[in-house]
Amino acid sequence: MESRFSQDFSGVRLQTQPASIAQTSLAIGSAHNASESEADRTAERIVQSSVFSNKSPFTDPGYDFSQVLVYTDDQADKSARALNALAYTVDRNIVFRRGQYQPSTATGKQLLAHELTHVVQQRQGTRSPSQYNRVSVIQRKEQPARPLNQFTEPLTDAEWQLVEMWQSYGEVGIDSLTEDPAHNALMVADAIFCSRALSSLILDSPREDPLLCVISEVTRADPRVQQLVQHVTARGPIINWASVDPDQRMRHVMALLVNTYHFPENGAAGLVGNLWSESGVLPSRIEGSHINMPMTAPNFAGRSTDFTAEQVMNRDHAARQGPRLPGIGLAQWTSPNRRERLFQHTFQGRQQGAAILFNMDAQVDYLVTELQSTYAGVYNVLTRAGVSLNDASDEVVYRFEVPGAVLDGAGNLLPRNNPAVQAVFTRRRSNSQRALRVFSAAQP
């Protein structure tokens, strides 16, 4: 395919909103493959041409770039740097490293033309369907080849950021994360391996299977990908909890509380029933989100937004950044101090940071730690031998969760026998009964 379009780049729109296209599986294309070579030729031809078109932008037949979006913000810069790229293209989105988007200069025009060629290539299907989740990247200096043993090394910080990003959006490229941690780990290992392999050009080697990083079954059967799985799971299992059956989510937390933290079953059920009321037992649930889309919630302008875990963790009310409402996680922690302690929590020897939104076990550990330290009275009720289900459920909602329905206009607790409080107790008790029922049904 020979790409033809004019030099007038005014039709390309600069996107001022933060880039939200990074949910694609990012794998760097070799600068020597056919698509990259064609893009280089097209870009050089456009810049070197002495004939400047007077036509309106991109009027050549079939090439309407009015919908192309360009990203140059801090998030774009960060993602491009993570890929060691000056710019990269995903569908109709072009992401630039800071300072690289300069369409008024010859060099900047050449870089933009190169990336626009990739837009055309993806539209015309010059890539195989299995390659659509790769990112076309222009790099003027090739990175040194990795020693082969580096393809199975632990993940870098930049790669862990990609994993968190994929978990935030619930998918790796076009493949959805599921309730199966083994499947998810293999999918992520596949994406990480292919990013490393493509950036080091090993796929150009005649010793490699030509279907490697093209057919997923071939890639995931590679021993190096299998080895990489252990590093992908080093920070815990990768589970898309929103895709897990709700009863199974309840059962999982019940089992942790009973078997690991030695709660009596009624005490555990009283707590889990309230977690269902607060978050649907979803560790990544943002306040104001739908249970099926826990990371999508209104921003400060009221627009529904897909947030990453980092954006949730770094929510700033004064700067109006992040979700509009502060509640997050299993218990919908809301106050700045409780949120800060959540993200600073250390589990299995590692401070969790934003990753705690995807680690159910780590979040339950923080929940128990908070009960033991800050809410000792509630903890004592929940762990008391012979505690009733109703007493456990009522104590959690009245002394730990404290929703607005149990407060008066001045923010003081209403009496327990107040009709409004009793109505809350009744609703939450039914959820606690459900938690006990699903747990008991799974016992031998």
Q: Tell me the pLDDT of the chain averaged across its residues.
A: 81
What separation in angstroms does the CA of 168 have from each of 18, 125, 162, 293? Answer: 15, 29, 10, 10
Residue 65 confidence class, pLDDT cut points 50, 70, 90: low
Give me 373's structure tokens.
């330290």
Give the lowest-confidence range in 134-143, 147-156, 216-225: 134-143
Q: How would DSSP label each residue in 292-329? A: TBTTEEEBTTS-EEE--HHHHHT-BTTTTBSBSS--BT
Residue 200 confidence class, pLDDT cut points 50, 70, 90: low
Rounded average pLDDT over 41-55: 43
How far apart are alpha carbons 197 and 193 in whole angstroms?
6
Residue 272 has pLDDT above 80, yes or no: yes
Residue 219 has pLDDT above 60, yes or no: yes
Give the lowest-confidence range in 32-46, 259-273, 284-298, 415-429: 32-46
pLDDT, residue 173, reads 81
pLDDT, residue 64, reads 58
pLDDT, residue 84, reads 63
CB 151 within 8 A of CB 224: yes
Give the lowest-confidence range in 103-112, 207-216, 266-275: 103-112
pLDDT, residue 32, reads 44
pTM here is 0.69
Q: Which of 66, 58, 125 lies closest to 92, judged by CA?
A: 66
Residue 82 has pLDDT above 80, yes or no: no
Give the lowest-confidence range in 210-214, 239-243, 269-273: 210-214
Residue 352 confidence class, pLDDT cut points 50, 70, 90: very high
Rounded average pLDDT over 363-368: 99
Rounded average pLDDT over 82-89: 71
CATH dotted code for 242-441: 1.10.530
Residues 89-144: tens digit of each pLDDT: 766 678 877 888 877 676 677 677 777 776 666 555 443 333 333 344 444 334 44
Rounded average pLDDT over 325-348: 98
Would strands 69-71 and 13-15 be described as parallel, antiparallel, or unpaired?
parallel
Residue 17 has pLDDT above 80, yes or no: no
Q: How far is CA 376 from the centre of its chain?
A: 34
Helix axes 360-373, 336-344, angle to 10 degrees: 130
Residue 212 has pLDDT above 90, yes or no: no
**Please, which residues have CB within 8 angstroms of residue 25's CB and are 6 or more apart in sequence?**
133, 134, 166, 172, 173, 174, 175, 191
Give the lowest-confidence range in 195-204, 308-317, 373-382: 195-204
Max mean pLDDT among 50-54, 120-124, 438-442 falls in: 438-442
pLDDT, residue 7, reads 45
Residue boundaries of the structural domains of the chain? 13-142, 149-233, 242-441
pLDDT, residue 211, reads 82
Q: Is 430 helix (H, G, I), strand (E, B) or coil?
A: helix
Q: Is 9 helix (H, G, I), strand (E, B) or coil?
A: coil
Q: Considering the chain, what percentage of its residues have pLDDT values greater than 90?
A: 57
pLDDT, residue 130, reads 32
Give me 239's structure tokens.
């589970």
Comparing 140 with 349, the larger pLDDT belongs to 349
* 187 membership: H or E segment, kind and range: helix 181-199
Comparing 161 with 283, the larger pLDDT belongs to 283
Rounded average pLDDT over 301-315: 95
pLDDT, residue 115, reads 75
* 181 membership: H or E segment, kind and range: helix 181-199
Residue 83 has pLDDT above 70, yes or no: no
* Most distant CA atoms of the chain, gap in Å: 88
Comparing 324 with 64, the larger pLDDT belongs to 324
Would strands 13-15 and 87-90 be described as parallel, antiparallel, or unpaired?
unpaired
Would strands 350-351 and 346-347 be described as parallel, antiparallel, or unpaired?
antiparallel
Residue 53 confidence class, pLDDT cut points 50, 70, 90: very low
Residues 171-193: tens digit of each pLDDT: 988 889 999 999 999 999 999 98
pLDDT, residue 66, reads 64
Residue 28 has pLDDT above 90, yes or no: no
Give the lowest-confidence range in 72-86, 181-195, 384-398, 406-420: 72-86
